[in-house]
Chain A
């Protein structure tokens, strides 16, 4: 990736919760119009990266630049304008459970535009058609399967044709067919809308089919990166462990306990006779 085509850029970003550091000196770049995946184990700080881009968290050190503007120092008005340009697909959809499918997709349109209801209804139909769910307008979120709920949430996220799309583990908990459908939709919609997209995911194989670039995060740092082809051919132990799902490796299987197992079992003072 060239240095000057970045739309989203992290420069030496650090973030932590109280005394626990989550991200340490992160540097990464997402080019305009590209779909970039961030992969890593649970608790590695992937979702925190997304929340730093959306402005839900503020970087404690470094800069999170989106189209040249530092999200970490935005005031309320700037943050509002920044979020108007952004769509986000949450891990389990986060549909509003008291609103129908139609009202969920219409929500951002009603909140941010003064379009007449007839036009909003047309736009909702088009967005639902794009995710293959035209005809579900009257259903409530409780009546949808997990995969359908994720697709409705995707339709809602793209309702205002965002410039930036954030996907927070979009494949979690889906059956293989729904997973394939969501992956295909993400790729097609991203190409059609030309958005710059960041996808946080665990799913290595499906992600490598659709993304343009991958970053691997472990222990709060970027440990590897590359195109899908480079990742497949990589000899990095981090990438190898993650791609092959090995229990132990650079990411340890065991939690770093303070005391030994013998101490915990009360056996450290026992002598063999």
Chain B
């Protein structure tokens, strides 16, 4: 009877201890990546190769999503602003929404789904098929050779992808507002130019995406490295990467917004 009553409490304790243990392990893992990062920069081709897989191959999803998000912003923004007779401010609304929030957050969510999950699956499968063990036995550190180049590739790619998301989003807003609805082109751009501040809006947005890049890539490589080396283990690690990344991005966004704006 007592056992049955305390079971949920014990489960909660187990989950909490496990979460804290994993957080500690992830922190030590980040430290190990930083200490083993020399090779990623000395042998730049290793990192550039990963930038291609994580960044360049994500371009399509980032550009297309950015375009549609910008177009939706243009439509919704025009509908709302025109009720208050402020349709001329559409350029400012589209740019500020994208630069401050939507660009970094959505680009990071897409990056986590596309490249983060791929990194976890690849590293997890390398573990399951003893490729990481083979590297260790050959006196090659898998963190230096496999993990660190992927980590830095993610950190480098994320702000660039967010910037491209912003650019295509603004173009989408312009296309809907100016080309389809017929707003004045000069007003659209001048409103945007007057209301967007390079440091407060553009650079802060990119700093956000840099933090998101660090968080998402760390989660992705950690989950892959820590995955149970079975098909089910790799599958659940990949799911954890996407779910944890989404939650961390949104939580981190709140914290960063509170400090920045």
Contact = CB atoms under 8 A, between A and B. Distances in A.
In terms of DSSP, what is the predominant structure of the interface of chain A?
A: mixed
Contacts of B139: 80-81, 83-84, 111-112
A97 B137 contact: no
A92 B130 CA distance: 9
A92 B145 CA distance: 22
Contacts of B133: 56, 90, 94
B134 interface: yes
Contacts of B138: 83, 88, 107-108, 111-112
Nearest to A89: B134
A112 B139 CA distance: 9
B136 interface: yes
Contacts of B129: 92, 94, 97
Interface string A100-114: 000000011001100
Contact of B137 (A54, A92, A96): A54
B131 A97 contact: yes
B133 to A, nearest CB: 7
Interface residues of A, number: 20
Nearest to A85: B139
B207 interface: no
A172 interface: no
Contacts of A83: 136-139
A56 B130 contact: no
A69 B138 CA distance: 19
Residue of A80, A81, A88 contacting most chain B CB atoms (<10 Å): A88
B153 to A, nearest CB: 14
A111 B134 contact: no
B131 A88 contact: no
A227 interface: no
A81 B140 CA distance: 11
B140 A111 contact: yes
B139 to A, nearest CB: 4
B131 to A, nearest CB: 5
B130 A94 contact: yes
Contacts of A108: 138, 140
A90 B134 contact: yes
Residue of B130, B133, B138 contacting most chain A CB atoms (<10 Å): B138
Given A94-B129, A97-B129, A88 B140 contact: no
A86 interface: yes
Nearest to B43: A110
A92 to B, nearest CB: 7
In terms of DSSP, what is the predominant structure of the interface of chain B?
A: helix
A173 B126 CA distance: 20
Interface in B106-156: 125-126, 129-131, 133-134, 136-140, 145
A56 B134 contact: no
Contacts of A12: none
Contacts of A92: 129-130
A91 interface: yes
A48 to B, nearest CB: 13
Nearest to A153: B134
A90 B134 CA distance: 7
Contacts of A88: 134, 137-138
Contacts of B131: 94-97
A94 to B, nearest CB: 4
B130 to A, nearest CB: 4
A9 B84 CA distance: 85
B134 A94 contact: yes
B160 to A, nearest CB: 23
Contacts of B126: 96-97
Nearest to B49: A98
A189 to B, nearest CB: 17
Nearest to B53: A98
A90 B133 CA distance: 9
A81 B129 CA distance: 25
Given A88-B137, A92-B130, A111-B145, 19 more contacts: A56-B133, A56-B136, A81-B139, A83-B136, A83-B137, A83-B138, A83-B139, A88-B138, A90-B130, A94-B129, A94-B130, A95-B131, A96-B126, A97-B125, A97-B126, A97-B129, A107-B138, A108-B138, A112-B138
19 contacts: A54-B137, A81-B139, A83-B137, A83-B138, A83-B139, A88-B137, A88-B138, A90-B130, A91-B130, A94-B130, A94-B131, A96-B126, A96-B134, A97-B126, A107-B138, A107-B140, A111-B139, A111-B140, A111-B145
Interface of A: 54, 56, 80-81, 83-84, 86, 88, 90-92, 94-97, 107-108, 111-112, 166
